[in-house]
Amino acid sequence: MADFFNEPSRTFNEYLLVPGYSSKECRAENVSLKTPVVKFKKGETPQIEMNIPLVSAIMQSVSDDKLAVALAKEGGISFIFGSQSIETQSAMVGRVKSHKAGFVRSDSNVRADQTLSDVVALKEKSGHSTVAVTDDGTAEGKIQGIITSRDYRISRMAMDTKVSEFMTPFQDLIYAEDGISLSEANDMMWDHKLNALPIIDKNKRLTHFVFRKDYDSHKENPNELLDNHKSYVVGAGVNTKDYSERIPELVKAGADVLCIDSSEGFSEWQKDTIDFVRDNYGDDVKIGAGNVVDREGFFYLADAGADFVKIGIGGGSICITREQKGIGRGQASAVIEVAQARKDYYERTGIYIPICSDGGIVYDYHMTLALAMGADFIMLGRYFARFDESPSNKLNISGNYVKEYWGEGSNRARNWQRYDMGGDNKLSFEEGVDSYVPYAGSLKDNVTLSLNKVKSTMCNCGVLSIPELQEKGKITLVSATSIVEGGAHDVILKDASVNVIR
């Protein structure tokens, strides 16, 4: 007969952290959320670390190049979705890597023979007041001039005025040559009282802008995650079907770390994919694998050579794998068992393999619980889908702003590659839904708020780092009654629509 687990399959909602002794040093500003991403030997330093323990899910509605840059600025990693052509995914990775911190590619460009009307329309569309004038109207064209809001006044100029008549021509521009450092570029802006400095290559083509406002933004992002060349760190999802064609292109584009995107990772397909990486790149290319929910699955992927292991089946808000197939496990139970397996593996081999908790996060405090239970970092889909930077559409539904959010197993995504069991190249049935999530604003504001809660909770537990939380944290199982007690109860909540009688 089948093997039975003695314990019920539990979720994060069934646990609470118990406070520990807090010294005067236990303040949020003293907490480090630095965490390893890839495996390393005892006594060594991991080749890739993050400054915050958050990565974005490998999903069409979550992880594109725009979100990747925003998350890297905060210290995390986005895994660009793989359910697209190899060319478009590699291009997204390339755009992230070419987006040097502080250097911005121009997305507002016109030709000299266009008109003020075109400039105004472009500004309304992009929201940017600095427009590059190039010979072909693209960011790669030869620079002919620059337009800023100081170059024209709508109330005093005809809308059909040619750009060439009011732009600042190239010969009058103050610019820097390609290769200048960000520090040198900022010094030039201050010396010449500029708001924007164009960066020009030897062929007089515009490569980037440096903006004064981004200098302040750069200083506001002390956790930004950069590689040795000062480019943002980015990940990419791969599948177990076309990996031999996809992985070389992603590596060429500059992806820092890969992750196999699969609904269930305890399979020979994953070992084949990892073997391809090791045979062709050795340990130079980093690749995570998963998802698994128990010891056996972890040990299999660890022995196969995975650089990190992802945990979770059926816990995502748009995932219906458990409903459709009856497989999976409560996320808390899965993380606890795999974390113990990781500890046993480390003691046996001296190799530490980070684990990533994927799914099951409903409230911010669940992040802290996942970390305390042993996760090194957390993969989030719904959480990031709500933000301005996610690639999905923002809609107004019945007076409320929402963003579209769909699963990779939905008919909309049609990502049959992540359900690899051989056979036909098609999606047999859905394992994800198409939905909306409440719009939440900018990534930076929300991530800052969530991680402030994590840091505050860690201080309540008397710890200042994730490893310390995992070593000293105390966790209690809670009853259904205590869950009710934990919220507002036995009071009448104020309703904003109720008039106060004075």
Question: Would you please indicate which residues are annotated as catalytic (active-site) residues?
Answer: 319, 418
Give backbone dihedrals phi and psi of 200, rounded to 5 degrees, phi first: -120, 140
Nearest to 203 by CA among 147, 143, 146, 145: 143
* Chain mean position to CA 23: 33
How many other CB atoms sit within 10 Å of the CB of residue 118? 18
Nearest to 290 by CA among 79, 433, 45: 79
Q: Are 273 and 260 in contact (CB under 8 A)?
A: yes
CB of 433 closer than 8 Å to CB of 413: no
3-state SS of 371-420?
A: HHCCCCEEEECHHHHCECCCCCCEEEECCEEEEEEECCCCCCCCCHHHHC
Sign for the CA dihedral angle at 69, 71, 73, 76 comes to negative
Interatomic CA distance for residues 466 and 470, integer angstroms: 6
Q: How far is CA 448 from CA 102, 221, 442, in A?
A: 20, 11, 10
Rounded to whole angstroms, the Cα distance separating 17 from 461 reads 8
Question: Taking the CA of residue 74 as centre, how many other CA atoms within 13 Å lie in the half-sphere pointing to its CB?
Answer: 25
Does residue 411 have a cis peptide bond before it, meaning omega lies within 30 degrees of 0? Answer: no
DSSP tag of 239? -
Residue type, 184: E
80 close to 65: Cβ distance less than 8 angstroms: yes
Break the chain down into helix, strand, coil percent, rounded to 5: 35, 20, 45
Question: Considering just the CA atoms, what is the radius of gyration of the chain in Å?
Answer: 25
76 exposure class (CB count in 10 Å sphere: 0-12, 13-18, 19+): buried
2 CB-near residues (< 8 Å, 6+ apart): none
The residue written with tokens 């995914």 in the block is 89
